[in-house]
Structure 1
Amino acid sequence: MNSIRFDNWEKFRNIISDISNGYSISLNGLTETQRHHFIYSVIAKAGRKALYIAANDLQARNALESFSGMAAGKVLYFPFREKMLYDVEAKSYDQAYQRIEILDCLLRQDFDIAVLSCESLIDIFMPPEEFAACRLSFKTGDTVDLEKLISDLARLGYERENEVEGSGQFAVRGGIIDIFPIQMREPVRIELFDIEIDSIRVFDPESQRSVQGIDRVEILPAKEFILSKEQALKAAGRIRRELREVVSRTDDKDLVNSLNKNFENYIEKLENAEYFAGIDKFIPYFYDENHSLLDYVGRDSLLFVEDVARLRQRLKNVVEEYHNQCEVLLDKGMLLPGSFLMYSDPEDLPGRFARFQTVYLNSLDEGETLTEVKKQYSLYGNNTVSYAGRIDELKKDIKAWLEKGYQITIQAMSDQRKEGLKNFLEENGIRVYSEYPKDDTPCVVIKTGQLKNGFVYPEIKWAVLCESDIVAGKKKRAAHQHKTGKKIDVFTDLTVGDYVVHQVHGIGVYKGIESLTVEGVKSEYLKIEYRDGGFLYIPITQLDLIQKYIGTEGKAPKINKLGGAEWTRQKKKSRKR
């Protein structure tokens, strides 16, 4: 960051002053990457925690990429929760675990910038105080009631196994308790001496050998909603009453039979406080009062809200699409009207935002806001061209900028690339500095950082260029493909018994095509068998999720376990090679 140019900019100083005085404001005119750069500078200067709310998930990920490339602190991304209305058990909980971990960070103020898409603003969450109460903590010397610990882990969504392999699992052998907390990369082993914790050690799940000793460990819940027996009974009662009302209003006997058959089973499981596939559809019945993600955020945090007009439209579309899906399932007797309330009303957002100091970010000169603002600032900027190796054109522009009194910052992707880029530029007659001169002299300075594209601040004569703008052929590396996989174009490319590689679950055996009826909808699925009798069913429309195994000829591969961690470890090792 070029603090001298910003510090000397009256508009920037006024913005920081307004924020320091607690005012909400609107910043209009900058687009995407330049906006991220400016906002990061504001956050750093203000010294506050920040929640950056994007108008959609793509913009959220772009903001995450920009902030991660600039920030030395903790930048988090909160993934939007997809709604599962069908009775299908998801086998990959990675995003749920990520959300749980970030909620914990928000509550404990353990972050610098948290980025999310606007859809998460209208989601329903556990009451923060109940979420905090689900956090278990153990340290050496504590006394432990083993049976209560087993019960607590099960209540928090941890699955008991003979041996811990993946996140959200635990195992008990005598006075040894292995737990794989969802927020940790490796599991921990708690050893008891009678009822006292004698040691806590991180261990390798593959070799089962200890890696290091630690003094304490925190265990976060492994499910996003943890219901007490009382809450489960209350939810079951609400569902039963609504079921009776719906049944009393219909003359369709087939629909009545379908409703009673489906929902009596759900109600019975809820009354027993059991988790079951499809429980998500009952989230609106869980609590007397809905809680928002903003309830997890400290009041001193700054909210940055992108493009309010687009945000409003996005939330309207999300709710309408969800309600259309509910209408179809309601007509089939697979849903009750209460499930329509999965989202909070977007019109309630101004009331929620009123509790926070908010900075609105709009692309237009005059921007829409959700709450009253003290002032609207117009900021001017533009993106630079991509030189793509055209060094003469780059030298011409740099010379013109310097003659006009500009400082030029060039961002290299790493310290190593910084040195290489510095040599490249100097060999082409461009003098490069490593630090900004104290007298603010026009010059070219090279720094490490990763931004999507370059831009110019004409008001303060500052140009920012990225390595990818300068050097020809510098493209982002494509997502890693595991070397044992070969693309499958159509399912007829597979023969029963073929080994296949799934992106998430690893190597399994193709067992053929099966017709399955899920919530009354009949579809074709590829059946994949995994170790220990696990089966995965993949819609034939999602062939891109698997590849055909092409390992050493004549040598059978090791089959992975569904839900285990070994495939994740294999991929990590492959990337390091």
Structure 2
Amino acid sequence: MALKTLFNQIQSHLPTKEILAKLESNNTLYLNKFAGSSVAFQIKHIHDLKIPAWVITPDEESARTLESDLLELGSSDVLYFPATAEKPYDTDVISDPSLLVQRSDIIQQVSAKKYPLVVASAKSIFEKIGSPTNFKKSTLILTKDDEFDLDHLREKLVSQGYEIVSFVGAPGEVAFRGGIVDVFPYSGTYPVRIEFFGDQIESIREFDPGSQRSVSFLNEARLVPNVNSIGNDQKESVFSYIDKNTLLIVIQPDLVENNIDELWVHATQNFSQLRNSDAPEPMHLFIDFQEYQNTLNDYKKIYFQGIFEQSGHEIIEWNAGPQPDFNSSIKILKSDIQDRSKKEYQTWILCDNDGQRDRFEELLGEPNSSMNYLLLINSIHEGFIHHDSKIAVYTDHQIFNRYHRPKVRQKKFRGGFSVKELRDLKVGDFVVHIDHGIGQFQGFKQIVVKNIAQEAVVVQYANDSILYVNVSSLHKLQKYSGKDGTAPKITKLGSGEWARKKARTKSQIKDIARDLILLYAKRKANKAFAFSPDSGMQLELEASFEFEETPDQN
């Protein structure tokens, strides 16, 4: 049973219609008694109605956990806008380029989406970024079949902070190889390869930076600048990118305001201690509490779980409470479920994996009218109990006091001969080509193919035969890995030697596979020793394991 079923049950009890109705006549609305991850349920339901929203949380951890909850609930288009992790005016701190890239990527995506849902922390909005005007002016749009001067492209990208390298492997890098330009932009997952014929763009495609294989062909490439590096004297707040029709949702507004105020005090103190520095004043780089408050007045906004006076504010209460503390006791959990079942509550227990679900099934027994519970394999940050709908949502990591790791989207790259490995190669190193066998790496050489200059890897084989491997075929190359201190025999091109060796190897692998199948068939047929089933104490001990299990452990 998917988490969607639980969401559908809860959404029918959410006060979304009342919220939207009151926002028609009020700029500000306060929501109270939304416990645990019920906040994420409400935010998702609002966004499902095609309402653009930015959510501001007190800190980075709460932003990450909210993003994780929204992803679990099915909001696959949620965007996380990170802080830079830099300290104001601290020149000794090395910037994390991945965070700078992510900020540019999110700004680009927000500009392209009609109904964005963005999660940001107080620190991430505290840091100003390049203005929308400069961002748009610095963005390069390259279209297939258009003409664009290569020298002008080089000049433009370098002025945006792109670094010229031999092979691109990280955002902010560009490689020029004759009529081929590889750019790893500050937005998107993959680098872009642009092939020119003269000044005309012949093709544009995304490719895997590791294997150099094509991922997709494009008609247009949008190369955005690093949003944090655009003109320090013309920086603006993140809100300059947020449309005025966007709904702002602030989680624990008093904490958000307090954190922004503390960050501002810290920035001004650091600036006052600078000597003989041309660094811009804090007002050019950061927002203070007053600017934050004034900016919020331009938007309709919802405050969750704030400390506020009851009079003079529009307040909606949902009557939800936090998940009880079970202190890793199955006995207390069973008693709680039984008590709630008598009051016609339905308890949902969210398990992190299959193993936890199976243990709960054995520990709690079959669900019935006196033990009304359901098990789901899903993970949200915190459970809650909604008393009006008589729904209790518990998480297994809270039941056993385990740390909950937020779900984070990861960019996936396919394997192959990585650019890093290629850069680390030395002349004379042994390499293996999947079609031609073992040779020696002899460096790089620019060759002309169909009147187009291209970069190629030079591999030397027996009898001084040379093979040129285009960078688009790097997935066929890999570094030789064999017995230490023993040089391999170099293959002779055109002899059929490598093809015969591959055929023999395939045959031997088939023999090994056949032997393994026979071995496991015999094991399956033999009668094994039957151990007694795990006791309740054993199951409870396993379920309360405080560390997150790896896939092979559950």
TM-score range normalised by the length of the shorter chain: 0.5 to 0.7
1:27 to partner: Cα distance: 0.8
Asked if the contact 1:70/1:450 (under 8 Å) is kept, the reply is no
1:148 to partner: Cα distance: 1.4
Asked if the contact 1:191/1:199 (under 8 Å) is kept, the reply is yes
Identity %: 22
1:465 to partner: Cα distance: 1.5
Q: Determine the C-alpha separation between the residues in 2 that align with 1:56 and 1:206.
A: 34
Which amino acid in 2 is paired with 1:345? D
SS in 1 for 2:118: strand
Choose from 163, 182, 193 the match for 1:159.
163
Instruction: Please give the root-mean-square deviation of Cα atoms over the aligned residues, in Å.
Output: 3.9
1:175 to partner: Cα distance: 0.9
Q: Which runs of 5+ in 1 are unaligned?
A: 228-282, 434-441, 481-506, 509-551, 556-574
Q: Determine the C-alpha separation between the residues in 2 that align with 1:473 and 1:348.
A: 40
1:395 to 2:337 alignment: no
Which residue of structure 1 aligns with residue 125 of structure 2?
Answer: 121
SS in 1 for 2:153: helix
Q: Determine the C-alpha separation between the residues in 1 that align with 2:403 and 2:288.
A: 42
Which residue of structure 1 aligns with residue 263 of structure 2?
Answer: 318
Q: Deviations over 1:367-391 (max 9, x none)?
A: 79xxx85x11234322223557644
Q: Determine the C-alpha separation between the residues in 1 that align with 2:483 and 2:327.
A: 43
SS in 2 for 1:460: coil
Asked if the contact 1:76/1:111 (under 8 Å) is kept, the reply is no
Which amino acid in 2 is paired with 1:464? V
Q: Determine the C-alpha separation between the residues in 1 that align with 2:278 and 2:130.
A: 22
Q: Determine the C-alpha separation between the residues in 2 that align with 1:338 and 1:474.
A: 44
Which amino acid in 1 is paired with 2:252? D
Asked if the contact 1:24/1:357 (under 8 Å) is kept, the reply is yes
1:431 to 2:431 alignment: no
Which amino acid in 1 is paired with 2:58? A
Asked if the contact 1:380/1:459 (under 8 Å) is kept, the reply is yes
Which residue of structure 1 aligns with residue 298 of structure 2?
Answer: 355
Choose from 378, 384, 389 the match for 2:323.
384
SS in 2 for 1:47: coil
Structural mapping, 1:133-152, within 5 Å? 133-152=137-156
Asked if the contact 1:104/1:132 (under 8 Å) is kept, the reply is no
Which amino acid in 1 is paired with 2:251? E
Worse overlay, 384-393 or 316-325: 384-393
1:307 to 2:252 alignment: yes
1:134 to partner: Cα distance: 2.3
1:100 to partner: Cα distance: 0.8
Q: Determine the C-alpha separation between the residues in 1 that align with 2:16 and 2:407.
A: 38
Residues 94, 393 of structure 1: alpha-carbon distance in 2 compared, 3 angstrom cutoff: same
Which residue of structure 2 aligns with residue 559 of structure 1?
Answer: none
1:358 to partner: Cα distance: 0.2
Q: Determine the C-alpha separation between the residues in 1 that align with 2:372 and 2:23.
A: 31
1:3 to 2:8 alignment: yes
Q: Determine the C-alpha separation between the residues in 2 that align with 1:206 and 1:464.
A: 43
Which amino acid in 1 is paired with 2:323? T
Which residue of structure 1 aligns with residue 427 of structure 2?
Answer: none
1:340 to partner: Cα distance: 6.0
1:194 to 2:123 alignment: no
Q: Determine the C-alpha separation between the residues in 1 that align with 2:124 and 2:328.
A: 41
Asked if the contact 1:326/1:340 (under 8 Å) is kept, the reply is no
SS in 1 for 2:134: helix
SS in 1 for 2:236: coil
1:187 to partner: Cα distance: 2.1
Which amino acid in 1 is paired with 2:341? L
SS in 1 for 2:273: helix
Q: Determine the C-alpha separation between the residues in 1 that align with 2:328 and 2:277.
A: 59
Which amino acid in 2 is paired with 1:58? E
1:460 to 2:399 alignment: no
Which amino acid in 1 is paired with 2:217? G
Which residue of structure 1 aligns with residue 33 of structure 2?
Answer: 29
Q: Deviations over 1:110-137 (max 9, x none)?
A: 6642111123434322221321232222
Residues 65, 475 of structure 1: alpha-carbon distance in 2 compared, 3 angstrom cutoff: same
Choose from 351, 357, 364 the match for 1:421.
357
1:22 to partner: Cα distance: 6.5
Which amino acid in 1 is paired with 2:295? R
1:297 to 2:233 alignment: no
Q: Determine the C-alpha separation between the residues in 2 that align with 1:204 and 1:65.
A: 27
Asked if the contact 1:365/1:378 (under 8 Å) is kept, the reply is no
1:352 to partner: Cα distance: 1.3
1:172 to partner: Cα distance: 1.1
Choose from 220, 229, 250 the match for 1:216.
220
Worse overlay, 346-355 or 320-329: 346-355
Asked if the contact 2:186/2:224 (under 8 Å) is kept, the reply is yes
Structural mapping, 1:230-269, within 5 Å? none
Q: Deviations over 1:274-329 (max 9, x none)?
A: xxxxxxxxx2xx13xx6221111122221111223222222221111111111211
Q: Determine the C-alpha separation between the residues in 1 that align with 2:66 and 2:215.
A: 36
Choose from 15, 19, 24 the match for 2:19.
15
Which amino acid in 1 is paired with 2:333? L
Which amino acid in 2 is paired with 1:431? P
Question: Normalised by the size of structure 2, how large is the TM-score?
Answer: 0.64
1:456 to partner: Cα distance: 0.5
Q: Deviations over 1:334-378 (max 9, x none)?
A: 35684565323321333211221100112547479xxx85x1123
1:477 to partner: Cα distance: 6.7
Q: Determine the C-alpha separation between the residues in 1 that align with 2:209 and 2:126.
A: 38
Q: Which runs of 5+ in 2 are unaligned?
A: 1-5, 409-422, 425-481, 486-549
Which residue of structure 2 aligns with residue 52 of structure 1?
Answer: 55
Q: Deviations over 1:30-73 (max 9, x none)?
A: 345333333333433x4312211112333223322322322333
Asked if the contact 1:307/1:360 (under 8 Å) is kept, the reply is yes
Q: Determine the C-alpha separation between the residues in 2 that align with 1:432 and 1:294.
A: 52
Which amino acid in 2 is paired with 1:103? I
1:176 to 2:180 alignment: yes
Compare CA radii of gyration and give the structure with the larger one: 2
Q: Determine the C-alpha separation between the residues in 1 that align with 2:406 and 2:27.
A: 43
1:164 to partner: Cα distance: 2.0
Q: Determine the C-alpha separation between the residues in 1 that align with 2:322 and 2:158.
A: 53
Q: Determine the C-alpha separation between the residues in 1 that align with 2:483 and 2:197.
A: 51
SS in 2 for 1:311: helix
